Amino acid sequence: MTDTAPSITREQTARVQTARVQTTRVHTALFAEVTQKLRLRAKELLESGEVVSVIGWEAGRFENQTTPAFITDANKVDRLIFNEYCANTLGKYVLSEKLDGKVAVCVRGCESRGINRMISDNQLKRSEVYLLGLPCPGMVESPEVSHASEPSHAPEASSKLLSKCAFCTHRQPVVFDEYLGTCEATDETLGGLIPKPIDPSERFSDVEELEALSLDERNAYFEKLYNNCIRCYACREVCPCCTCRECFVDQARAGWQGKQNNLEENRFYNLTRVFHIGDRCVECGECERVCPMELPLMKINRKMVKDLTTLFSVPEAGLDSETISPLNTYDVADLEEYL
Amino acid sequence: MSVVESNSDFQPTVLAFCCHWCTYSGADLAGLNRMNYPANIRLLRVPCSGRVNPQYVLTAFNKGCDGVLVCGCHPGDCHYVSGNYFAKRRMMAFKRLLEYTGLEPERFQIRWISGSEAGKFRDVVTQVCEEIRALGPLKHSASFEAFAEQGALGTVNALTPANKAEEVVEND
């Protein structure tokens, strides 16, 4: 343990925190138009029998919340909505839905990269899904559900962008069968509606902030993370990379993962999870969003992505379904640091 | 095998994963040549450095090892053609990940040692054991509690998004 004060000042910390908080306008007109197109196409696809179900979002129990919707009846397509609270990434639901036949699924940047991920991991065939590309201006955090008597119906002028959307580098779908947006599918600003997404080289800013801390501080930081983890495995369930039929944590006989909830076992789980997905992570940030303990899981994921990117100069994952992940291959010219 | 004399009383436990085709033979040769190296090292023979699952490394730390050494064939010499190239990529990423999450770099090391390099085996093992002896035992307890005692947890708390779990109270 060091006796000196932590090297990072509180002002620096505050700057990092504010950099993460981005606000966005709510694009009501865009959402309304896309929702109309989506309902129309979903109805046509279901009526023609081309697909057996359409995966999208529907209104949730609360005003500012949505939940994934699985529409199998053409008369119920009006349940589908697309608004600024569609926080769930839908890609992984395809794996269970496709058992009944071809599935149509709404894809934004994050979902389309997850679909590519599952295709290159041989979990899915491209012919098994029909991809409805949607333009995404970035989703916003639901305001705290208030139990006050009168809920406010006034749309907010600006809202806080989800942390996963603040780090998004591809708002537009990278693969789709048809595009339901109002602009070119390659226009990342959605026809000037939103600022350009961050440059891929900037997405490691919070990893770099942590790397700048001392070893002891990093140790304390991550031990706190592990200590708060309840090992509910929600991060694994939503991850488009986690498609093993039997996960190592469920292999009770092999005994990889102990049953206790303590720091050692939680560290084992978190580090192994990152290592299993880190070379294929599409950085959708869904693990971090679903974490009931609000653990900053992407800060570990992105560290591994950053290292592999810098060491082996690999492209961003999930942009196509052909690229071999960096740990599944090698190059005799790799950097040598163990002689 | 005699224990190399050290000033410290601490006897670390260091686990070495040794490739059957190179380092394990190198260790054998070191023994035949009556070379001295610390008895703190535990050799675990694996068919290839590519067989070393990073989960083995984590398990070793959880089960009480103070350090882990992974040894394999020099690049180009793998008995299975490419196992050590895969191991190299894997270990490069894993070592960085462990260091990022707060493990001292000395506690997890990777070396290429061929079957004829008995001297190198002795030198590496001695060096690794002494480095870990100097570091002391691996701390398993939560070090953030120690940080809280120092009143220095503010940095860590500030970087962590609001945790629903009870915050560790800082002694100001």
Pick from B144, B145, B153, B167 the residue to mutate for testing the A interface (most A CBs within 10 Å): B144
The answer regarding whether domain B3-171 maps to CATH 1.10.3470 reads no
> Domain residue spans in chain B?
3-171
Please tell me if residue B169 touches chain A, with a CB cutoff of 8 Å. Answer: no
Angle subtended at Cα A253 by Cα A269 and Cα B90, rounded to the nearest 5 degrees:
45
Please tell me if residue B161 touches chain A, with a CB cutoff of 8 Å. Answer: yes
Tell me: the pLDDT tens digits for B87-108? 999 999 999 999 999 999 999 9
Residues of B in contact with A8 (CB under 8 A): 155
- Is residue B145 scored above 80 in pLDDT? no
Number of Cβ within 10 Å of residue B147's Cβ equals: 27
Same domain for A29 and A170: yes
What per-residue confidence (pLDDT) applies to A15? 45
Q: Do A338 and B164 touch (CB under 8 A)?
A: no
Structure-token pair, residue B53: 């699952």
Please tell me if residue A244 touches chain B, with a CB cutoff of 8 Å. Answer: no
Residues of A in contact with B91 (CB under 8 A): 338
Residue span of the structural domain in which A99 resides:
14-179
Same domain for A217 and A175: no
Residues of A in contact with B63 (CB under 8 A): none
Q: From A195, A264, A282, A256, select the one nearest A223 (Cα to Cα).
A: A264
Tell me: the pLDDT tens digits for B4-53? 455 468 899 999 999 999 999 999 999 999 999 999 999 999 999 999 99
DSSP state of A203: T
Which helix or strand (DSSP H or E) is residue B144 part of? helix B143-150
Residues 6+ positions from A259 with CB-CB distance below 8 Å: A265
Pick from A20, A338, A339 the residue to mutate for testing the B interface (most B CBs within 10 Å): A338
Please tell me if residue B151 touches chain A, with a CB cutoff of 8 Å. Answer: no
- Find where tokens 């600022």 sit: A195
Q: CA–CA separation, A320 vs A338, rounded Å? A: 33
What per-residue confidence (pLDDT) applies to B146? 64
Same domain for A167 and A24: yes
Domain-located, residue A75:
yes
Q: Do B93 and A275 touch (CB under 8 A)?
A: yes
Q: Give percent of chain A above pLDDT 70.
A: 88
The phi, psi pair for A117, rounded to 5°, reads -60, -50
Residues of B in contact with A276 (CB under 8 A): none
Same domain for A208 and A140: no
Domain-located, residue A43:
yes
In contact, B12 and B130? CB cutoff 8 Å? no
If one counts the domains in chain A, the total is 2
Least confident of A32-41, A292-301, B134-143: B134-143
Say which of A210, A264, A303 has its CB closest to residue B140. Answer: A264
Domain-located, residue A66:
yes
Residues of B in contact with A17 (CB under 8 A): 158
Domain-located, residue A63:
yes
Q: Do B142 and A10 touch (CB under 8 A)?
A: no
Task: Give pTM, 2 decimals.
Answer: 0.86
Tell me: the pLDDT tens digits for A171-225? 999 999 999 988 888 888 888 888 888 888 889 988 999 999 989 889 888 988 8
Residues 6+ positions from A229 with CB-CB distance below 8 Å: A261, A266, A269, A270, A293, A295
Structure-token pair, residue A10: 């509180």
Same domain for A284 and A173: no
Please tell me if residue A263 touches chain B, with a CB cutoff of 8 Å. Answer: yes
- The interface residues of chain B toward chain A in range 93-122, judged by CB-CB distance below 8 A, are 93-94, 96-104, 110-112
Same domain for A294 and A151: no
Full DSSP string of B90-112: HHHHHHHHHHHTT--GGGEEEEE
- Find where tokens 């023979």 sit: B45
**Contacts of A328-331 spanning 24+ positions with Cβ under 8 A:** A328/A279, A330/B82, A330/B85, A330/B86, A330/B88, A330/B89, A331/B85
Domain-located, residue A281:
yes
Structure-token pair, residue A239: 């991850």
pLDDT band at B1 (very low <50, low <70, confident <90, very high): very low
- The interface residues of chain A toward chain B in range 146-165, judged by CB-CB distance below 8 A, are 163
Residue in A with minimal Cα distance to B70 = A338
> In angstroms, how far is CA A61 from the centroid of its own chain?
22
pLDDT band at A149 (very low <50, low <70, confident <90, very high): very low
Q: CA–CA separation, B93 vs A312, rounded Å? A: 10
Q: How does the average pLDDT of chain A come out, rounded? A: 86
Tell me: the pLDDT tens digits for B104-118? 999 999 999 999 999
Which strands form B108-112's sheet, in the order they lie side by side?
A: B41-46, B14-19, B67-72, B108-112
Same domain for A91 and A147: yes
Amino acid letter at A77?
V
In contact, B22 and B118? CB cutoff 8 Å? no
Q: CA–CA separation, A264 vs A65, rounded Å? A: 36
Residue in B with minimal Cα distance to A7 = B155
The phi, psi pair for B108, rounded to 5°, reads -135, 110
Full DSSP string of A225-289: HHHH-----HHHHH-TT---SS-GGG-TTTT-S-SS-SHHHHHHHHHHHHHHHTTT-----HHHH
Q: Do A307 and B96 touch (CB under 8 A)?
A: yes
End of a domain among A179, A209, A227? A179
In contact, A326 and A308? CB cutoff 8 Å? yes
DSSP state of B55: H
Residue in B with minimal Cα distance to A338 = B111
C-alpha dihedral over B85, B87, B92, B96, to 10 degrees? Answer: 170
Same domain for A108 and A246: no
Q: CA–CA separation, B147 vs A271, rounded Å? A: 22
Domain-located, residue A187:
no
Q: CA–CA separation, A160 vs A30, rounded Å? A: 18
**CA-based diameter of chain A, in Å?**
71
- The interface residues of chain B toward chain A in range 22-41, judged by CB-CB distance below 8 A, are none
Same domain for A165 and A277: no
* Complex ipTM more than 0.90, yes or no: no
Same domain for A38 and A106: yes
Same domain for A233 and A130: no
Say which of A1, A207, A326 has its CB closest to residue B89. Answer: A326
Same domain for A104 and A34: yes
Domain-located, residue A3:
no
Say which of B58, B146, B153 has its CB closest to residue A268. Answer: B58
Say which of A217, A268, A330 has its CB closest to residue B62. Answer: A268
